[in-house]
Chain A
Amino acid sequence: SQQGEEDPQALSIQEGENATMNCSYKTSINNLQWYRQNSGRGLVHLILIRSNEREKHSGRLRVTLDTSKKSSSLLITASRAADTASYFCATDGGDSWGKLQFGAGTQVVVTP
């Protein structure tokens, strides 16, 4: 079963614009991670945010976590064509300690 649900399912933007996607989950977590997957490839880890953190930055990425609402958001600023990929949130915690549970992902297309 998949715990996280990403929203929107698909997102199409132009280069230079910001892309925001959201993740909601059901049970308590120890941490939440975001991954990127290019077509036909494996997943690449982007950022990890722990349950006691509210916001984290890495380059052009900004992740927020609201444990009271059981939701997280990933913001990609000044998007590039190379950011075209599927983005997944994965939760780690509750009774599935260390067993990441992934959502269905958000497909992002960035056009030049």
Chain B
Amino acid sequence: GAGVSQTPSNKVTEKGKYVELRCDPISGHTALYWYRQSLGQGPEFLIYFQGTGAADDSGLPNDRFFAVRPEGSVSTLKIQRTERGDSAVYLCASSPLSRGLGSPLHFGNGTRLTVT
């Protein structure tokens, strides 16, 4: 079946602009995660949704970052006033189980964001 889909695969934007990154999780997966991965590093947790609500947004670096999942399926990560330090690969993952039940995550291929 279809895996986690992320669009766009690449995004180049100018410093100060607004960007939206989209994630289509695996159908039926209730848990959705956003991670950020810088070159040579492991993924860094940003935010977790269980259904429509953001159950844990403790990883968002500042208030320029915001994510929504209005119908409990597709999620959008929004970054305002982008900075060069925001350049990274943004990964989305979904899971069929609630957080805490030790379920593996299914990752998309990520969106590579470059802020010039």
Q: What's the dominant secondary structure at chain B's contact region?
A: loop
Residue from the list B45, B59, B91, B104 in contact with A42, Cβ < 8 A:
B91
Q: Which residues of B contact A31 (CB under 8 A)?
A: 102
Q: Are B104 and A33 in contact (CB under 8 A)?
A: yes
Closest chain-B Cβ to A26's Cβ sits at a distance in Å of: 14
Minimal Cβ-Cβ distance residue in A for B42: A102
A104 within 8 A of B: yes
Q: A31-B102, A98-B98 are in contact. Are A103 and B109 (CB under 8 A)?
A: no
B44 within 8 A of A: yes
Considering the chains assembled together, what is the distance between the CA atoms of A92 and B99 in angstroms?
A: 10
Closest chain-B Cβ to A49's Cβ sits at a distance in Å of: 10
Q: Are A41 and B109 in contact (CB under 8 A)?
A: yes
Considering the chains assembled together, what is the distance between the CA atoms of A50 and B104 in angstroms?
A: 12
Considering the chains assembled together, what is the distance between the CA atoms of A2 and B42 in angstroms?
A: 8
Interface centre among B40, B101, B104 (most CB of A within 10 A): B104
Q: Are B43 and A99 in contact (CB under 8 A)?
A: no
Q: Are B102 and A50 in contact (CB under 8 A)?
A: yes
Q: A41-B109, A42-B4, A42-B109 are in contact. Are A104 and B42 (CB under 8 A)?
A: yes
A87-112: CB near B (< 8 Å → 1, else 0) gives: 01010100011111111110000000
Closest chain-B Cβ to A4's Cβ sits at a distance in Å of: 7
Residue from the list A4, A92, A98 in contact with B42, Cβ < 8 A:
A4
Closest chain-A Cβ to B108's Cβ sits at a distance in Å of: 5
The 30 sampled A-B contact pairs (Cβ below 8 Å) are: A2-B44, A4-B42, A30-B102, A40-B109, A41-B110, A42-B4, A42-B91, A42-B93, A43-B91, A43-B93, A45-B105, A45-B106, A88-B43, A90-B42, A92-B102, A96-B45, A97-B99, A97-B100, A98-B99, A98-B100, A99-B45, A99-B99, A100-B105, A101-B45, A102-B35, A102-B43, A103-B42, A104-B40, A104-B42, A105-B41
The 4 closest A-B pairs by CB, nearest first: A98-B99, A102-B42, A42-B107, A45-B104
